[in-house]
């Protein structure tokens, strides 16, 4: 049952309760628990209708009218006064009005309120310094058919720490590239918004629903070819950064952000330092390339 259905059902229940206006009942005889006394045929106290507690008067064979105790239950019985009737009805009507208003709010703005109060919690993390080996087809620099080569891929993980609220139409964007300038200070050498490729991109749409973690291809190093930054779209202005040939060292920082309909992640930077060499072993390759998340990136917000 949805939120609107719940409030409507609750409202009907309140209306039904308010229809039970307090009325005077004929006096009945109550026998206290365990006494065994009273007129023949009188109801035991545990069989007395609970509505008599608020709507009627009970004559007790021990206390006399009205009864001041309810046997083993210890509840006090009394006749409802006009003031009691007024306040009982007033509170019921108030509750009815409040729940009617809530039902209208949920019906008109439920999705907007849900997005405002219950958001996914998106985070970008570097997955593994070792990376993942695979085989790829590489076109030689001089042209010709693609050749098979070993490669090592490095990934960024997009996680949603509030998995019960999914992030829809999510994608990871490259916002800028920063490289060391004179004096070693970082300078922005490219800026824009280009989607980063998902790992195993042909299996997924460009924009995904993220509950469980999703992986992006940050970069790869290919034997005999060099370092590649993996993007889901072509951009002529980015060609100079997309591929760095073998033996050419790289020291650059990629600035990323995950965005979804319900909210965005923090802007996060990852530094890539590569000396331009390739080795097949994981331990050996770890001496040539280091990728790490920048702990405190102050490059601004979206």
Number of residues that this document lists for the chain: 302
- Give Cβ neighbours of residue 169 (< 8 Å, ≥ 6 apart): 207, 208, 209, 260, 261
Phi/psi region, residue 192 (left: phi>0; alpha: psi -120 to 50; beta: rest), is left
pLDDT in tens, 118-156: 678 999 999 999 999 999 988 777 777 888 999 999 999
Is the Cβ–Cβ distance between 46 and 30 less than 8 Å?
no
pLDDT band at 257 (very low <50, low <70, confident <90, very high): very high
What kind and span of H or E run contains 14?
helix 3-18
Residues 70-119: pLDDT tens digits? Answer: 443 344 445 567 777 788 888 888 888 888 887 777 777 666 656 555 67
> In which band, very low, low, confident or very high, does the pLDDT at 236 lie, cut at 50, 70 and 90?
confident
Q: Reply yes or no on whether the pLDDT at 173 is more than 50.
A: yes
User: How confident is the model at residue 103, as a pLDDT?
Assistant: 79
Averaged pLDDT score across all residues of the chain = 76
The most confident of the ranges 27-41, 55-69, 231-245, 268-282 is: 268-282
Helix (H, G, I), strand (E, B) or coil at 246: coil
Kindly state the average pLDDT of the residues 38-55.
40
Residue 13: pLDDT band with limits 50, 70, 90? low
Lowest model confidence (mean pLDDT) among 55-64, 93-102, 280-289: 55-64
């Amino acid at each position: 049952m949805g939120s609107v259905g719940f409030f409507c059902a609750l409202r009907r229940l309140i209306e039904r309760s308010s229809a039970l206006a307090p009325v005077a009942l004929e006096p009945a005889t109550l026998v206290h628990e365990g006494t065994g006394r009273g007129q023949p045929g009188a109801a035991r106290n545990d069989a007395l209708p609970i509505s008599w507690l608020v709507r009627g008067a009970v004559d007790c064979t021990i206390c006399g009218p009205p009864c001041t105790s309810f046997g083993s239950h210890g509840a006090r019985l009394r006749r409802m006064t006009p003031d009691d009737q007024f306040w009982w009805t007033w509170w019921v009507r108030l509750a009815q009005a409040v729940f009617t208003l809530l039902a209208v709010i949920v019906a008109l703005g439920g999705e907007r309120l849900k997005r405002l109060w219950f958001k996914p919690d998106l985070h970008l993390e570097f997955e593994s310094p070792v990376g993942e080996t695979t085989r790829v087809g590489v076109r030689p620099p001089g042209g010709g058919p693609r050749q098979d080569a070993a490669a090592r891929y490095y990934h960024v993980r997009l996680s949603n720490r509030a998995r019960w609220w999914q992030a829809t139409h999510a994608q990871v964007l490259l916002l800028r590239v920063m490289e060391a300038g004179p004096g070693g200070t970082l300078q922005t050498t490219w800026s824009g918004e280009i989607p980063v490729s998902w790992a195993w991109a042909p299996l997924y749409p460009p924009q995904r629903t993220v509950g469980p973690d999703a992986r992006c291809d940050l970069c790869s190093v290919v034997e005999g070819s060099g370092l590649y930054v993996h993007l889901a779209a072509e951009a002529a202005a980015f060609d100079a950064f997309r591929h760095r040939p073998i033996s050419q060292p790289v020291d650059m920082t990629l600035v990323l952000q995950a965005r979804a309909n319900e909210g965005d992640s923090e802007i996060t930077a990852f530094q890539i330092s590569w000396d331009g060499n390739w080795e097949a072993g994981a331990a050996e390759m770890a001496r040539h390339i280091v990728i790490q998340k920048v702990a405190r990136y102050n490059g601004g917000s979206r």
